[in-house]
Amino acid sequence: MLQRLSASERHFLYDILHLLLFSFDAVSLFLIRDDTIVVHIMFHRGGVVKQIKTAEIMLPGKKDESMKIEKTVVITGAGSGLGRYISIESAKRGYYPILVGRSGEKLRSVQRELVDLGVPSDIEEADIRNHTDNKRASEAVLNRTKKIDVLINNAGAGFFAEADSLSYEKARQMLEVNLLGLIDWTSFFLPALKEQQNGRIINIGSMAGRIATPKASAYAASKAGVIAYSNALRMELKPHRVSIMTVNTGPVKTPFSNKADPTGEYEKSVKRLAIRPDKLARTIVKNMETRTREINLPGYMNKAAVMYSLFPKTVEQLGKRQFMKK
């Protein structure tokens, strides 16, 4: 295995490059390390780093034993939470991650983590609620890559409140991010996926889409829409050899809980039950190349959802205390 620059060496070099950024729009650094040329290119605007691109070039006559980057994965909401972990795990499995999100700063932070893994990546800033943003960013991705192997619609938003207390703006935001943005990104990539007659779309749903609970009416509606959309799309795309997987989980240990319920009560009540995001990301990435239709975690919630579809009234009565923990 090739020796690569250590994390401390990279960070030291970035500090030097920062000093040069005030004089140049882009700074390139070429280093020879053993039998590899390591190239770091930093783009900036006003002295603030906007993007880092990394590549490694083998010297002539040397055999490349490093990780082969053969497949491309596009991940929305990649700047934090589950999206960050999916980006890292997919990179470890040899994918070329294209990170999509609203915050360029957060995307670049994840990109630096991938640099430390020796994996190249790209970023596209886009507000998934904005159709024009989505069109521009998706076109940029399609123009840059020969093939899209996996699209992961991970971006999500949630706010917990009783229906008469939930503002229209927050309800709209959940529907735009969780459902309409997901549909938008999928639609932009469908022609390419159909043409290449291969690919996988992974949509992050929620157990809330299978069991609606109090204070999550609009959120549950958006996630139920994701599940329904995925099921219909799966049948449409089967003749084109494009598969669909829906991921439905209960609470995950990410900043989502605090954003959904700023009081902290929800996070406190589900802390013991919440899924680790790194473990969930590994499960998702392991199934990127399978034909799995759904991932439903944790298992007991999946069983409860099945029971709910058969005996809704009974499950609502038995689960009332747990359902109200928001």
As a whole number, mean pLDDT of residues 53-75 equals 60
Classified as helix, coil or strand, 200 is strand
DSSP β-ladder status, 150-153 and 199-204: parallel
> Under a CB-based contact definition with an 8 Å cutoff, are residues 246 and 182 in contact?
no
Q: How far apart are CA 254 and CA 276, in angstroms?
A: 8
pLDDT digits 0-9 by tens, 289-304: 999 999 999 999 999 9
| Distance, C-alpha 160 to centroid of its chain | 22
Amino acid at 137: A
Amino acid at 24: F
Q: How far apart are CA 320 and CA 59, in angstroms?
A: 65
Q: How far apart are CA 29 and CA 26, in angstroms?
A: 10
> Under a CB-based contact definition with an 8 Å cutoff, are residues 194 and 238 in contact?
no
pLDDT given for residue 206 in this prediction: 98
| Distance, C-alpha 39 to centroid of its chain | 27
Domain boundaries, the chain: 1-66, 67-323
**What is the rounded average pLDDT for all residues in the chain?**
85
> Under a CB-based contact definition with an 8 Å cutoff, are residues 245 and 287 in contact?
yes
pLDDT level of residue 273 (50, 70, 90 thresholds):
confident
DSSP β-ladder status, 150-153 and 71-76: parallel
Whether 274 shows a pLDDT value over 50: the answer reads: yes
Which of 11-15, 179-183, 258-262 is least confident?
A: 11-15
pLDDT digits 0-9 by tens, 216-271: 999 999 999 999 999 999 999 999 999 999 999 999 987 766 666 666 666 666 66
> Under a CB-based contact definition with an 8 Å cutoff, are residues 246 and 294 in contact?
yes
Q: How far apart are CA 101 and CA 82, in angstroms?
A: 13
Look up the CATH number of domain 67-323.
Answer: 3.40.50.720
pTM (predicted TM-score): 0.78
Quick count: other Cβ atoms within 10 Å of Cβ 71? 16
Instruction: Return the residue matching tokens 């500090």.
Output: 15
Whether 54 shows a pLDDT value over 50: the answer reads: yes
pLDDT level of residue 35 (50, 70, 90 thresholds):
very low
CB burial of residue 159 (10 Å; 0-12, 13-18, 19+): buried
CB burial of residue 77 (10 Å; 0-12, 13-18, 19+): buried
Quick count: other Cβ atoms within 10 Å of Cβ 173? 17
Q: How far apart are CA 44 and CA 52, in angstroms?
A: 9
Whose CA is closest to 97, among 81, 105, 77?
77
Q: How far apart are CA 254 and CA 143, in angstroms?
A: 33
pLDDT given for residue 149 in this prediction: 97
Q: How many residues does the chain have?
A: 326
List, by residue number, the catalytic residues: 219
